[in-house]
Structure 1
Amino acid sequence: MKHLNYLQYMGRLMLCAAFLLGLAGFTNGCKAQEGQEIHHCITHYRPVSSWEKVADKDKVTILGPAVVNQEQMVQYILSRNPNPKLNCTLEELVAYYYEEAGSEGVRPDVALCQALKETGFFNYGNDVKPMQNNYCGLGALGNKVPGYTFYSPQRGVRAHIQHLLAYATTEMPKKDLVDPRFSVLVEKYPHYRGAAKYWPDLNGRWAVPGTTYGQDILRLWREARQFHEGENDLNKALEAAQRQPDEMVNWERVYGLAYLEGNYEVAVLSIDHILKLDKKNINAYVQRANVYREWGYNEKALADYNAVLSLDEYNYAALSGRAYLYASIQENRKALADYDALLNRNPGDTVALYNHGCLLADEGHYNEAMEDLAMVLNLDPDNEIAQQAVDDLRAYLKK
């Protein structure tokens, strides 16, 4: 593999050898099935975009009080869908969320935003139907599998909240258990139990690969918070940019504020204006690609990354972003090729090393994966994520 160039460059560090000696003999007994199960057995073994597991703006806990009141949530939902498909009034459903989530200590307003994401603001249109009272896709696994049906809206809300509890805490629900997937998660995936403190921690757990699942929920929550509020900094910046549309600095400010707030629509709008003013602005293409990737528009993100790389074959930001996108959608071979290119140019990139190791493990190359992880720890001895991955992989291979 090209990847060996940077290992030779780093001198086959002693730490790598120590790890490999400890693993000798285990790999031969590994089955192909282990490679398929490793995502379920090793909770920390997923590619990362950076060592900040959750951005500061997204450190919103699943457990906690509501910030947005019921009336404002109702008005926000109606602004996006005047005719929600429900088996009760919208006011009643919102009240159920505040009652059920509030009694269990889950944030009612954010849980409701998760339902909005799952149902498309109660428009539905996918496998789950309105009559099911299933607001979070419980049991809906794709391929026209509709998931569970609950006999009342309140019971469907309770099941949603209880399923969130299974991820957010090890405590049992206070009310009678109605979530049919609760025991499945507890018994089959005990490592997920209580593993999600923040909403983005649901990425790759609740939704697979779901790389921006939690962030998307929080984006809706921020929109609800700002609904009918007075003029904020983003609005002022947007108005200033619209008054002077040929001033690039104005659109750059709009982008910065919009991206910080998770307002991806305005962030893309601002980048579009920047590119009208400067069609060869490589940084703008990368920024828009990153927004599209976080927003879940993978094809658009890939097009922008490829546009940059057609202009600058070794653009590190675009190559890194594309590699992470490929890894997130499980295009492992393409991701490995990009990470090889990154590591040949910068052997000390610990994020690329870690992700390369994740992908190698997923492909069943456990010894080579451990080389990568050992290198990360040599370069960054206090890296808790890499250390946990090493410990998990070693324990997994001993089974």
Structure 2
Amino acid sequence: MKHLNYLQYMGRLMLCVAFVLVLAGFTNGCKAQEGQEIHHRITHYRPVSSWEGLEDTDKVTIMGAPSISQEQMVQYILSRNSNPKLNCTLEELVAYYYEEAGSEGVRPDIALCQALKETGFFKYGNDVKAMQNNYCGLGALGNNVPGYSFYSPQRGVRAHIQHLLAYSTTRMPNKELVDPRFMVLVEKYPQYRGAAKYWPDLNGRWAVPGTTYGQDILRLWREAKHFQELEKGLNKALDTAQRQANSVEAWERVYSLAYGDVNYDIAILSIDNILKLDKKNVDAYVKRANIYREWGYNEKALADYDSALSLDKNNYTALSGRAYLYASIQENKKALADYDTLLDINPADTVALYNHGCLLADEGYYNEAMEDLTMVLTLEPDNEIAQQAVDDLRAYLKK
């Protein structure tokens, strides 16, 4: 009996030891996974072009009914791109957005504006191609990674809406799950599930850090609601400039209205005319470079930034734009060189400090990155984006 008790005791002891080992392994595995996620975040912070907070006017919910008709959305898109690259008619694609988003309770007009931002009004030009039916950049991580493809336009729209659903609610989609990133977000990033009530809540989640991502989408949405009035003002200014073809001021007025209206074709046309009249207009080169950068034509943007800096080597706006573009396309060493110049000129530039720190972290210089990021907080103690980066970096360095 004693022998049996001894065996039972040893068996229980071994089970306890095994349980402790499994628990320790599980805990270490969780810590390792957490460490990997933190490392992924601090080495994938993207540069910012400016600081913009969430304003009350931007508290527009992702879930809700449309406020723009399908017909007006079609007209708005055609006013920016008369020949959208699609595998169906524009009217059909807009209808798919209203059908798929409507079935899930997502605002279809604003979701469509997100697609316009991601595709450049269906002109494309970056890694994702029109043939993929991928309207929101699912799986497109940069560095020539094109992301996912969907066999039909409607399926691509459904994947887009379902991905929005993953961020804005905690429920499963009503229709067949086709978003290949839905369960990835649910399982690996549960903190993002249902965390985005308003469109700017996608900042730092859908787009990292994407400090103005949601605001940009809402800007397009507001323009879609009022584009007819905006078009009248732009057409009037364009008519004046064409009658006063040698007036730089007239073309600058056209540029201002066109750029504010996200009508990049007319904005470029106006800058082209300004540079014909004044080949040494540094501001014009920078403005055109900014448009090309936002449009995704990186080589053209770099050429214009270089032209501006050849005329004024310390032009702050040109240096900032080129540094931001270099950082965006992961030309880290070139970006760091430009940010070094910017910080020599203005050591208190918190945008330059933040981007410099993120790039250093991307290169593995964590202590130096921490110096930059903590300096941002010294200058701007309430900067939530920099605080998150500091917290992530501090947590990683403790691993």
TM-score under structure 1 length normalisation: 0.74
In structure 2, the partner of 1:85 is: 87
Which deviates more, 237-246 or 59-68? 59-68
In structure 2, the partner of 1:258 is: 258
Alignment of 1:151-300 (within 5 A): 156-167=156-167, 169-173=168-172, 175-178=174-177, 179-194=179-194, 225=225, 232-300=232-300
Which deviates more, 274-283 or 221-230? 221-230
In structure 2, the partner of 1:69 is: 69
What is the letter of the counterpart of residue 249 of structure 1?
E
Evaluate the alpha carbon distance shift between residue 42 and residue 359 of structure 1 in structure 2; reply closer, same or farther with a 3 A threshold: closer
Alignment of 1:77-116 (within 5 A): 80-81=82-83, 85-86=87-88, 91=91, 93-115=93-115
* SS of alignment partner, residue 313 of structure 2: coil
- Per-residue displacement from partner, 1:2-43 (whole Å, max 9, x unpaired)? xxxxxxxxxxxxxxxxxxxxxxxxxxxxxxx99996674359
- Per-residue displacement from partner, 1:110-138 (whole Å, max 9, x unpaired)? 323455677787899998786x8765565
Give me the whole-angstrom Cα distance separating, in 2, the residues matched to 1:371 and 1:383: 15
Q: Is the Cα contact below 8 Å between 1:117 and 1:217 reproduced in 2?
A: yes
Q: Is the Cα contact below 8 Å between 2:165 and 2:173 reproduced in 1?
A: no
Shift of 1:218: 6.5
Shift of 1:49: 0.8
- Per-residue displacement from partner, 1:164-210 (whole Å, max 9, x unpaired)? 2223x143245145133211122223454456566677678657899
What is the letter of the counterpart of residue 280 of structure 1?
K
Unaligned runs of 5+ in 2: 1-32
Unaligned runs of 5+ in 1: 1-32
Confirm whether residue 315 of structure 1 aligns to residue 315 of structure 2: yes
Give me the whole-angstrom Cα distance separating, in 1, the residues matched to 2:234 and 2:307: 29
What is the letter of the counterpart of residue 282 of structure 1?
V
Give me the whole-angstrom Cα distance separating, in 2, the residues matched to 1:113 and 1:73: 9
Q: Is the Cα contact below 8 Å between 1:128 and 1:146 reproduced in 2?
A: no
Q: Is the Cα contact below 8 Å between 1:38 and 1:362 reproduced in 2?
A: no
Which deviates more, 105-114 or 337-346? 105-114
Give me the whole-angstrom Cα distance separating, in 2, the residues matched to 1:307 and 1:386: 32
Give me the whole-angstrom Cα distance separating, in 1, the residues matched to 2:45 and 2:146: 30
What is the letter of the counterpart of residue 307 of structure 2?
A
Evaluate the alpha carbon distance shift between residue 76 and residue 51 of structure 1 in structure 2; reply closer, same or farther with a 3 A threshold: closer
Q: Is the Cα contact below 8 Å between 1:118 and 1:137 reproduced in 2?
A: yes
In structure 2, the partner of 1:343 is: 343
Which deviates more, 250-259 or 57-66? 57-66
Q: Is the Cα contact below 8 Å between 2:64 and 2:107 reproduced in 1?
A: yes
- Per-residue displacement from partner, 1:130-175 (whole Å, max 9, x unpaired)? 6x8765565677668763447xx655533321112223x1432451
What is the letter of the counterpart of residue 256 of structure 1?
S
Aligned length: 361
Larger RCO of the pair (alpha carbons < 8 Å, separation 6+):
1
TM-score under structure 2 length normalisation: 0.74
Give 1 or 2 for the bigger CA radius of gyration.
2
Shift of 1:291: 1.7
Shift of 1:304: 0.9
Identical positions, percent: 77
In structure 2, the partner of 1:147 is: 149
In structure 2, the partner of 1:327 is: 327
* SS of alignment partner, residue 275 of structure 2: helix
Q: Is the Cα contact below 8 Å between 1:305 and 1:319 reproduced in 2?
A: yes
* SS of alignment partner, residue 232 of structure 1: helix
Alignment of 1:121-132 (within 5 A): none
What is the letter of the counterpart of residue 182 of structure 1?
F
Which deviates more, 354-363 or 117-126? 117-126
Give me the whole-angstrom Cα distance separating, in 2, the residues matched to 1:45 and 1:268: 30
Q: Is the Cα contact below 8 Å between 1:139 and 1:148 reproduced in 2?
A: no
Task: Say which structure is richer in helix.
Answer: 2
